[in-house]
Amino acid sequence: MIGPLSVAIDGRPLDARTMLLAVPGALDRRRALELQRAIGRAVRSGRLRVVVDLSATGCVEPGVAAVLLHARRRLLVMGGELVVVGGALGAIDALPVAASVEAARAPPTFGATRRAVIEVIAPLRRALTRWAASAGADERTQDAVALASQEALTNVAVHAYRDAPAPGTVSVSGEVLPVERLKVCVTDEGGGMTPRSDSPGLGLGLPLIAQVADPVDIEPGPHGGTRVTMGFALLSGR
């Protein structure tokens, strides 16, 4: 019998990193598993960013959200992302929802503010590197982002608040520029990055940052302190 459940899931690539999977008709658990297999095929083709379009989906049975959440977690581990278009699933905090396919295609941004202590450096570095991967950065650029952000974050944790009674905050942002480049900013509200004779370690790490990022700009932050802005080619060698 031909009916809504027999309508095939429509998969088509949007770009080198993104696959669109449109699900017309009703969505039960069987079709959710079919959708999960389609996501797996997208990953094997090198597309780690998946847009699931439910704008033309009818009835959604219980259990479908769990399947999509599982698929998203696997994508996140690999540096990817899953975004849902349409409100067929309702509001689910762990599933990002976009108003349209075009909105879902928008390059992802990164933003985080944490207490400027050593313990936040590794988690922030990993999160920023995953963001770079989801934005389409190749492995060499991901390594450069990881190294430069590690140095910049360490600078803040070690130097920025040495004269303060308690550590302040560090903010990290990332955006994709139109010319296939990434821009990463690390901002503190401390005493700036002036070298001190009693500073621990081998120095501020700025020469190392300059080796892997281009350009590197250092300027006062909007609320005092220092902002370090680092640029990276999305694909190394360009």
Judgement on whether residues 229 and 115 belong to the same structural domain of the protein:
yes
Residues pairing with 229 in the sheet? 185, 217
- Among 105, 130, 162, identify where a domain stops: 105
* Residue that finishes a domain, picked among 90, 105, 120: 105
| 3-state class (DSSP) for residue 133 | helix
3-state secondary structure 17-74: CEEEEECCEEECHHHHHHHHHHHHHHHHCCCCEEEEECCCEEEECCCHHHHHHHHHHH
Please report, for the domain that includes residue 73, its CATH number: 3.30.750.24
* 137 shares a domain with 99: no
Same domain flag for 181 and 96? no
Q: Which two tokens stand for residue 195?
A: 């070298």
Q: Give the Cα separation of 187 and 43 in Å (integer).
A: 35
pLDDT at 193: 59
86: left (phi over 0), alpha (psi -120 to 50) or beta: left
Looking up tokens 């990463």 gives 184
Q: Within the chain, which residues score under 50 in pLDDT?
A: 1-6, 200-202, 238
Identify whether 238 is part of a domain. Answer: no
Q: Do 143 and 137 form a contact (C-beta atoms < 8 A)?
A: no
> String of b and e for 29-45 (b: at least 16 CB within 10 Å)?
eebbebbeebbeebbee
pLDDT at 1: 34
Write down the pLDDT at residue 201.
47
Q: What is the number of structural domains in the chain?
A: 2
The torsion angle over the Cα atoms of residues 104, 68, 70 and 146, rounded to 10 degrees, is 0
3-state helix/strand/coil string of 146-185: HHHHHHHHHHHHHHHCCCCCCCCEEEEEEEEECCCEEEEE
Taking only the tens place, the pLDDT of each residue in 177-227 is 877 899 999 999 997 655 555 554 445 578 899 999 999 999 999 888 999
Evaluate if pTM is beyond 0.75: no
Domain hosting 135: range is: 110-233
